[in-house]
Amino acid sequence: MHNYLYYLYSTTCNACTNQCANCTSASVCTSCVANASFNSATSSCQFNSGYTPVNGACSQCPSSCAACSSLTNCLTCNSNAEVSSNGLCSCKSGFSLDSSNNCIAICNNICTSLSTSNGQNCTACITNAELSELLALAHRMLDMIQP
């Protein structure tokens, strides 16, 4: 069952395009379905980023997909993710999927950058070289204050 609405052409009812909630012809939308945006210059609707058409409605792309052509084929991925051989996005090496479907850094040492209001998503880690430099600096500072 499609969610299309129809317009009358002569004596025939014709379906509006996927993104149109209401239309006056095949090429003129007057309003859009949820998760689609209206372009007043062209009287057309486009799916919002991260959404794809499924049975006449806008469906959200799979997790970590920024754009997709279907629910099983990602075109581009969100930050720190890449399209894998199965057509879906997976986190890059050194990152893991959090509960909000974002790829976050896996830190074995110290986190240098946090995101979200509660500060629990690590977005960057200190490198081993940076850690070595900090430890060397700490030792030099201790040497300066010890008699």
Pairing of strands 121-125, 65-70: unpaired
Close Cβ partners of 76 (under 8 Å, ≥ 6 residues apart): 65, 66, 67, 83
Close Cβ partners of 72 (under 8 Å, ≥ 6 residues apart): 62, 87, 88
CB atoms within 10 A of CB 105: 20
Mean pLDDT, rounded, of the chain? 78
Question: What global pTM score does this model have?
Answer: 0.56
Compute the distance between CA of residue 59 and CA of residue 32 in angstroms, rounded to an integer.
14
Q: Which residue has the tokens 């300066």?
A: 144
Q: Is the pLDDT of residue 28 over 50?
A: yes
Q: Is the pLDDT of residue 40 over 50?
A: yes
What is the structure's pLDDT at 2?
A: 42
36, 38, 43, 44: CA torsion to nearest 10:
-20
Q: How does pLDDT run across 70-124, given as a tens digit for each residue?
A: 899 999 998 889 999 999 999 888 788 887 778 877 765 566 666 655 455 666 7
Q: What is the DSSP letter of 10?
A: T
Q: Between the CA of residue 33 and those of 36, 87, 99, what are the distances in Å?
A: 6, 27, 28
Residue type, 29: C
Average pLDDT over residues 129-137: 68
What is the structure's pLDDT at 82?
A: 92
Domain ranges of the chain: 1-57, 61-95, 107-147
